[in-house]
Chain A
């Protein structure tokens, strides 16, 4: 059984950048998973089974990292020794915080029943537009090797993603899922 490359981009034969071909990623993932998945070793000896389990788990982790825009961004930065867990006060501008507070207030003020669904959709659309803008800006910073700038954008992406998750959760609550 082969061993796998430690860099997730190299693992899937992709260029190390923000913009990746999602279809190529998922095709390559399926191809490799087809080679290392434990099901391929159902009748093998235990050491091979264990190796298959490890390789397959690693492949899943790599795939999920690159598939998610936010996790891909953090991973790209980590390849340039930037730890996104380390948040400096200077990374977060006052404008950003104010904007976040405003958006959150909007979400909190919506009625707690189904009448809020239309406004939730609007709010989600607003956040999605901001997300897409910031993703573009992350790509530009990163391509220009401006990693500190990219890290600042990353934190904005983090805020926006969290907010979108909360909007989704708010919608589920109101729909009674």
Chain B
């Protein structure tokens, strides 16, 4: 007898509908969109069959923006209205941008009071968020046409080194394009996901991402479907473009050695170099020719030309291993991402350092988008919940400014996110009722060397003596790497909170420039730090003496007061530009000079106490 099938209450009624979600690699040069189609995730082509969408936008008066190849073809013809590499503008101020990249041909909008770079085009002022949104909209339209339905969500990839401001603006751009962001995913993590699901690997994975202008390296561990990012590192000013420049310089030097040849323009040299680089991916020796002149370039000569660039990538790999506490032998797989990893010399150097050949099966230009598409499919709910999970880390330390312009790190870099950490701080001056909290990002010890993320104030702190108030500051970083900070005065429960949004107008420089600086400058920092600390000690002593003088100044004779005043003056002038040893000396001297005064005050207070009423007497009065 056939049994009737009874469904469990609340159980799955039917196969759930496939919900549409995409992965988007929003790149500096090219962008891609991917989605699950049939058995796997694939990148989606446009109607002409092109998968890559050049990240170039052309603005025209009264018409919609052109995005992609058409826009790219107008770069030379109409440079003022055609914008490439908008990703480099994200999270930056105009001033910062101009100091970094003097060659930008655009006319900028000076009327923006937030200091964000906005470009004046034929269809109005456009900032990085709007330009990125136009690229995203084009990809969304492509996906919706291809998938025949409207999108419910997207995973967008960002470089692991993107700071809070850059992440926030990427998210803003997606919102402007009407996209529901399921997650901002670090590019290397996405690449590992693309490989990780094809094989049921367990172990430690290095993602080596050498693009046109940046280099990222990440170390991930994969175990039972959970990806854990153990460490990230890299170099934002290292990429395939540098290889072209190195070859171009070599060609120029060869030409001048030949003599009697007019060296062509830099652009022409770079064109020759780029061609040579691509040819050398397939053969061991090639001929570079320009007009009647020609020269042979062998792979072994190229190896010498780019030896320094390759050494820098390997140094970053070493550093990431160190951060995670692992050795070369602990690495099971190396994933290659970015067009520049097609160079055999790069692959060989990586294989040599890690002692095993890197994975190159997936097109290094598409691997990030494919990983994002896989993750989008999981987050939207098309894959079962226990399929896999990504645990990311925050790439840069987050901290707060303390007295003396020093940074107290609250969340160190490479901490797994989401994370919440609290630390207690106190007031510096008697009767202090306001505390300014300055949130910074970076590895250095001095505030001025880190990136300023936000400032806010906690007010109405009850007036107490210095050091008595307890203020708990909590940092919360969510799974997208976005930070919020709150501060609470513990006795009153008074609270202030801030969602950290991009703050412009900062001459902060590039992120891992900051990271590298933190190491090369460790020595300088130490002396600067000890000066700051000495200044802090001096200030505290000066404040204490000033407040003592206000109360009990009449205890001193005129002579004593003069000696003390001189000593105070001396310390005040030395602490401005003296060394830490000099400041310590002057502080110690003032301490000595004021010790008699302190003793007198002590005597007076003891005498007062002895003269005072006994506890019993006080109690009687209360009754």
Q: How far is the CB of A123 from the nearest CB of chain B, in Å? A: 17
Inside 8 A of A43's CB, which chain B residues have their CB? 153, 182, 379-381
Contact assessment for B389 and A37 in the assembled complex, using a CB-CB cutoff below 8 Å: yes
* Among A34, A60, A176, A177, contact of B417 (Cβ-Cβ < 8 Å): A60
Contact assessment for A39 and B183 in the assembled complex, using a CB-CB cutoff below 8 Å: yes
Q: How far is the CB of A78 from the nearest CB of chain B, in Å? A: 15
* Among A39, A169, A173, contact of B389 (Cβ-Cβ < 8 Å): A39
8 A-B pairs with the lowest CB-CB distances in the bound complex, closest first? A42-B379, A57-B420, A30-B226, A38-B479, A57-B418, A42-B182, A177-B319, A60-B416
Which chain A residues (163-177) contact chain B, with CB distance < 8 Å? Answer: 168-169, 172-173, 175-177
Contact assessment for A172 and B519 in the assembled complex, using a CB-CB cutoff below 8 Å: yes
Contact assessment for B415 and A64 in the assembled complex, using a CB-CB cutoff below 8 Å: yes
Most buried by A among B183, B318, B380, B389: B389
Contact assessment for A33 and B226 in the assembled complex, using a CB-CB cutoff below 8 Å: yes
Inside 8 A of A58's CB, which chain B residues have their CB? 420
* Among A27, A40, A57, A168, contact of B476 (Cβ-Cβ < 8 Å): A57
* Among B381, B416, B420, contact of A54 (Cβ-Cβ < 8 Å): B420
Contact assessment for B389 and A33 in the assembled complex, using a CB-CB cutoff below 8 Å: yes
Contact assessment for B479 and A53 in the assembled complex, using a CB-CB cutoff below 8 Å: yes
Inside 8 A of B228's CB, which chain A residues have their CB? 30
Kindly supply a per-residue 1/0 record for chain B positions 375-391, scoring 1 wherever the CB is within 8 Å of any chain A CB and 0 otherwise. Answer: 00011110001100111
Which chain B residues (79-104) contact chain A, with CB distance < 8 Å? Answer: none
Further 6 A-B residue pairs, CB within 8 A, beyond A37-B391, A42-B182, A177-B318: A34-B226, A34-B385, A40-B385, A53-B479, A63-B416, A173-B520
Contact assessment for A60 and B419 in the assembled complex, using a CB-CB cutoff below 8 Å: yes
Q: Answer yes or no: B224 CB below 8 A from chain A CBs.
A: yes
Q: Answer yes or no: B315 CB below 8 A from chain A CBs.
A: yes
Q: How far is the CB of A151 from the nearest CB of chain B, in Å? A: 21
Cα distance A52–B78 in the bound complex, in angstroms:
49
Kindly supply a per-residue 1/0 record for chain A positions 35-62, scoring 1 wherever the CB is within 8 Å of any chain B CB and 0 otherwise. Answer: 0011110110000000001101110110
Inside 8 A of B520's CB, which chain A residues have their CB? 173, 176
Cα distance A99–B179 in the bound complex, in angstroms:
61
Q: Answer yes or no: B421 CB below 8 A from chain A CBs.
A: yes
| 27 CB < 8 A contacts A-B | A26-B223, A30-B223, A33-B226, A34-B225, A34-B226, A34-B385, A34-B389, A37-B389, A38-B418, A39-B183, A39-B379, A39-B389, A39-B390, A42-B153, A42-B183, A43-B153, A43-B379, A43-B381, A53-B478, A64-B416, A169-B522, A172-B319, A173-B520, A173-B522, A175-B315, A176-B315, A177-B516
Contact assessment for B380 and A30 in the assembled complex, using a CB-CB cutoff below 8 Å: no
Inside 8 A of B516's CB, which chain A residues have their CB? 177
Most buried by A among B416, B520, B523: B416
Q: Answer yes or no: B112 CB below 8 A from chain A CBs.
A: no
Give the dominant DSSP class at A's interface: helix
Inside 8 A of B303's CB, which chain A residues have their CB? none
Kindly supply a per-residue 1/0 record for chain B positions 385-411, scoring 1 wherever the CB is within 8 Å of any chain A CB and 0 otherwise. Answer: 110011100000000000000000000
Inside 8 A of B421's CB, which chain A residues have their CB? 61
Cα distance A144–B419 in the bound complex, in angstroms:
34
Kindly supply a per-residue 1/0 record for chain A positions 1-34, scoring 1 wherever the CB is within 8 Å of any chain B CB and 0 otherwise. Answer: 0000000000000000000000000110011011
Q: Answer yes or no: B566 CB below 8 A from chain A CBs.
A: no
* Among A31, A38, A175, contact of B478 (Cβ-Cβ < 8 Å): A38
Inside 8 A of A60's CB, which chain B residues have their CB? 415-419
Which chain B residues (134-193) contact chain A, with CB distance < 8 Å? Answer: 153, 182-183
* Among B226, B386, B479, contact of A56 (Cβ-Cβ < 8 Å): B479
A residues contacting B by CB (< 8 A) are: 26-27, 30-31, 33-34, 37-40, 42-43, 53-54, 56-58, 60-61, 63-64, 168-169, 172-173, 175-177
Select from chain A the residue with minimum beta-carbon distance to B515.
Answer: A177
Cα distance A177–B316 in the bound complex, in angstroms:
7
Q: How far is the CB of B356 from the nearest CB of chain A, in Å? A: 23
Q: How far is the CB of B404 from the nearest CB of chain A, in Å? A: 21
Which chain B residues (273-321) contact chain A, with CB distance < 8 Å? Answer: 315, 318-319
Q: Answer yes or no: B322 CB below 8 A from chain A CBs.
A: yes
Inside 8 A of B226's CB, which chain A residues have their CB? 30, 33-34
Contact assessment for B225 and A53 in the assembled complex, using a CB-CB cutoff below 8 Å: no
Q: How far is the CB of B148 from the nearest CB of chain A, in Å? A: 22
Cα distance A176–B235 in the bound complex, in angstroms:
14
Inside 8 A of A176's CB, which chain B residues have their CB? 315, 520
Contact assessment for A168 and B322 in the assembled complex, using a CB-CB cutoff below 8 Å: yes
Contact assessment for A37 and B479 in the assembled complex, using a CB-CB cutoff below 8 Å: yes
Contact assessment for B478 and A33 in the assembled complex, using a CB-CB cutoff below 8 Å: no
Cα distance A27–B223 in the bound complex, in angstroms:
8
Inside 8 A of B386's CB, which chain A residues have their CB? 34
Q: How far is the CB of A163 from the nearest CB of chain B, in Å? A: 16
Inside 8 A of A169's CB, which chain B residues have their CB? 519, 522
Kindly supply a per-residue 1/0 record for chain B positions 509-541, scoring 1 wherever the CB is within 8 Å of any chain A CB and 0 otherwise. Answer: 000000010011011000000000000000000
Inside 8 A of B519's CB, which chain A residues have their CB? 169, 172-173, 177
Cα distance A49–B270 in the bound complex, in angstroms:
50
Cα distance A30–B388 in the bound complex, in angstroms:
10
Q: How far is the CB of B371 from the nearest CB of chain A, in Å? A: 14
Cα distance A54–B484 in the bound complex, in angstroms:
13
Contact assessment for A42 and B380 in the assembled complex, using a CB-CB cutoff below 8 Å: yes
Inside 8 A of A64's CB, which chain B residues have their CB? 415-416
Inside 8 A of B322's CB, which chain A residues have their CB? 168, 172, 177
Which chain B residues (441-483) contact chain A, with CB distance < 8 Å? Answer: 476, 478-479
Q: How far is the CB of A2 from the nearest CB of chain B, in Å? A: 14
Contact assessment for A56 and B389 in the assembled complex, using a CB-CB cutoff below 8 Å: no
Q: How far is the CB of A61 from the nearest CB of chain B, in Å? A: 7
Contact assessment for B379 and A57 in the assembled complex, using a CB-CB cutoff below 8 Å: no
Inside 8 A of A27's CB, which chain B residues have their CB? 223-224
Inside 8 A of B416's CB, which chain A residues have their CB? 60, 63-64
Cα distance A53–B419 in the bound complex, in angstroms:
8
Inside 8 A of B225's CB, which chain A residues have their CB? 34
Q: How far is the CB of B74 from the nearest CB of chain A, in Å? A: 38
Cα distance A27–B225 in the bound complex, in angstroms:
11
Cα distance A42–B183 in the bound complex, in angstroms:
8
Select from chain B the residue with minimum beta-carbon distance to A171.
Answer: B322
Select from chain B the residue with minimum beta-carbon distance to A34.
Answer: B389
Select from chain A the residue with minimum beta-carbon distance to B378.
Answer: A39
Inside 8 A of A168's CB, which chain B residues have their CB? 322
* Among B153, B315, B319, B419, contact of A61 (Cβ-Cβ < 8 Å): B419
Inside 8 A of A54's CB, which chain B residues have their CB? 420
Q: How far is the CB of B156 from the nearest CB of chain A, in Å? A: 13
Cα distance A63–B418 in the bound complex, in angstroms:
12
Q: How far is the CB of B573 from the nearest CB of chain A, in Å? A: 32
